[in-house]
Amino acid sequence: MAYDFIIVGAGIAGITMAEQIANMLNKKVLLIDKRDHIGGNCHDYYNDDGILVHKYGPHIFHTNSTRVYNYLSLYTTWISYNHKVLGKIGDILVPIPFNLISIDKCLPDISNHVKSAILDEYEVNQKVPILEMKKSDNPSIAKLAHYVYENVFLHYTEKMWGLKPEQLDESVTARVPVHISYDCRYFQDTYQGIPRDGYTKMFANMLSNHNINILLNKDYHEILSIDYEEKKVYLYDEEFTGEVIFTGMIDEFFDYRYGPLPYRAMVFMDETSDKERFQENATINYPNDYHFTRITEYKYLTGQVSDKTTVQFEFPEQYDYRDKDANIPSYPIPQKKNEELYNRYKLLADEFEHVTFLGRLAEYKYMNMDVVVEKALNLISDKFMGEEF
Ligand code: FAD
Ligand code: UDP
């Protein structure tokens, strides 16, 4: 089949684009991925013990976008699921994000005093990033902020990123702000859930269209080559005059000419036990102990019933771009110097009129699934839905 589009990467970015190109534009698309499965980092599968697990870490869909929710709902129904996280501080488990209940649990002797200072300063339900709270000149609040910083953020962030919170863009720790509330949910978004039959099934439904051809186990270098001078892409040595959507790493596309963009990689260790439950909550964070950051028990997310249960430990480490088979780039590292390096690659990318860079790796942005889907839908309506296509 002659293709109108080639998409590199069958993660949620590439899959949303493929679905829209096939269904909305009625164009032919080749979707390739070097892994042996679709879904990218959102891929899930039934393990040997029959438990549905997320291969690359726990994925909870949450969004305030009705458009994104309605779009994905064309391809799945949902298990309504509100994620909750507990953090192990000393010997106790407390709600994360740190909230009014966490204050009661951690600081029982002074909790009334601390809460009244907090409620004088902030609105009920306000979300206060820890690095902002630390700057408070109210001594009671500064003391609380110091406690939370030391016990929840500092060591977790050092484990997770190999950096202190201040060395990262403030948006990173602001993802888990102190919540002036008794609401113990991890997210407050309007729509929250897990695809009823899993992410991979939802993706397979999205890709079920005769306009889409999927090629797995294929690194794009095996079939595509790039002429950087002429800004042209070749498919099996023939010039490809259609559109390319690239969702891999932007530095790899340009052969790392300015040096590699750094990533954190995660190593996941799954463990199945012959019992119904392993722990008392879906995810337990370990800010201060062990080398792993958190343990997630999948049956809480999926609602699956079984007399066995699988948990997953997450071990962060540095990604090495020279050893691609050993680890995968999970998190771009939000720091000014990395943003500047990305911007240099972005200038090169802008010169490729017929290559569009989309997604967490191609845009080097710490994006959740819903943001990626919304970007893909916008690209279709703003860039590709015109006469010339
Ligand atoms: P990816 O999923 O990385 O897909 C890129 C694809 O490109 C991959 O399949 C890769 O194999 C392929 N590729 C790369 N290079 C090549 C090459 N050379 N040749 C061929 N193919 C190539 N988001 C949420 O909304 N909720 C959550 O709870 C959540 N939890 C997360 C937990 C973890 C541990 C991580 C790491 C992320 C989490 N996310 C979550 C974010 C979510 O994973 C991303 O938003 C999403 O995966 C981005 O999709 P993508 O298609 O841009 O990238
Ligand atoms: N964080 C922390 N302690 C926690 C939870 C989060 O220090 O108990 C910080 C840490 O830097 C982490 C960031 O907040 O990387 C964002 O956390 P989130 O749970 O959103 O990370 P993700 O689910 O994307 O891995």
Rounded mean pLDDT of 63-84?
A: 98
Nearest atom of ligand 2 to the alpha carbon of 186: 19
Task: Indicate whether 267 pLDDT > 90.
Answer: yes
**Which residue is closest in CA terms to ligand 2's atom 10?**
157
Per-residue confidence (pLDDT) for residue 389, from 0 to 100: 55
**Average pLDDT estimate for 224-244:** 97
Which ligand is nearest to the Cα of residue 186, counting in written order?
2
Q: Mean pLDDT of all residues in the chain? A: 97
Per-residue model confidence (pLDDT) at position 348: 98
Mean pLDDT of 361-386: 96
Pocket test for ligand 1, best of 6, 16, 59 (most atoms within 8 A of CB): 59
Backbone torsions φ then ψ of 85, nearest 5 degrees: -130, 135
Mean pLDDT of 54-64: 98
Residue 68 confidence class, pLDDT cut points 50, 70, 90: very high
Q: Is the pLDDT of residue 99 over 60?
A: yes
Residue 327: per-residue pLDDT: 81
pLDDT at position 219 over 60? yes
In tens, the pLDDT along 310-354 reads 999 999 999 998 887 778 899 999 999 999 999 999 999 999 999
Q: Which atom of ligand 1 is nearest to the CA of 62?
A: 25
Measuring from atom 3 of ligand 2, which residue has the nearest CA? 153
Ligand nearest to the CA of 159: 2
Atom of ligand 2 nearest to the CA of 153: 7
Question: In the predicted model, what is the mean pLDDT of residues 68-83?
Answer: 98
Closest residue CA from atom 18 of ligand 1:
219
- Confidence (pLDDT) at 326: 73
Residue 212 has pLDDT above 80, yes or no: yes
Q: Distance from the CA of 287 to the center of ligand 2, in angstroms?
A: 9
Q: How confident is the model at residue 386 (pLDDT cuts 50, 70, 90)?
A: confident
In angstroms, what is the span from residue 328 Cα to ligand 1's centroid?
Answer: 10
Residue 388 banded pLDDT, cuts 50, 70, 90: low
Find out whether the beta carbon of 285 lies less than 6 Å from any atom of ligand 2. Answer: yes
Q: Among 247, 268, 293, which residue has the most ligand 1 atoms within 8 Å of its CB, making it the best to mutate?
A: 247
Cα 277 to middle of ligand 1, angstroms: 29
**From 134, 154, 157, mutation site for ligand 2 pocket: most ligand atoms within 8 A of C-beta:** 157
Closest CA relative to residue 246, chosen from 359, 322, 353: 359
What pLDDT is recorded for position 1?
A: 67
Q: Which of 357, 358, 354, 356 is nearest to 230 (CA)?
A: 354
The residue count for the chain? 389
Cα(42) to centroid(ligand 1), Å: 6
Nearest-atom number in ligand 1 for the CA of 266 is: 34
Q: Could you say which ligand is closest to the alpha carbon of residue 247?
A: 1
Q: Which residue lies with its CA nearest to atom 6 of ligand 1?
A: 9
| Mean local confidence (pLDDT), 89-106 | 98
- pLDDT-derived band of residue 387, with 50, 70 and 90 as boundaries? low
Residues with beta carbon inside 6 Å of ligand 1? 8-14, 32-35, 40-42, 56-60, 219-220, 247-248, 266, 330-331, 359-361, 367-370, 372
pTM of the predicted protein model: 0.98
Mean pLDDT score, 9-31: 98
Domain ranges of the chain: 5-79+194-262+332-384, 85-179
- Does residue 86 register a pLDDT over 80? yes
Protein residue with its CA nearest to atom 36 in ligand 1: 330
Separation of CA 104 and ligand 1 centre (Å): 37
pLDDT exceeds cutoff 90 at 189: yes
Q: Which CATH fold would you assign to the domain 5-79+194-262+332-384? A: Rossmann fold (3.40.50)
Give mean pLDDT, residues 203-226: 98
Instruction: Give the range among 86-95, 176-185, 268-277, 380-389 with minimum mean pLDDT.
Output: 380-389
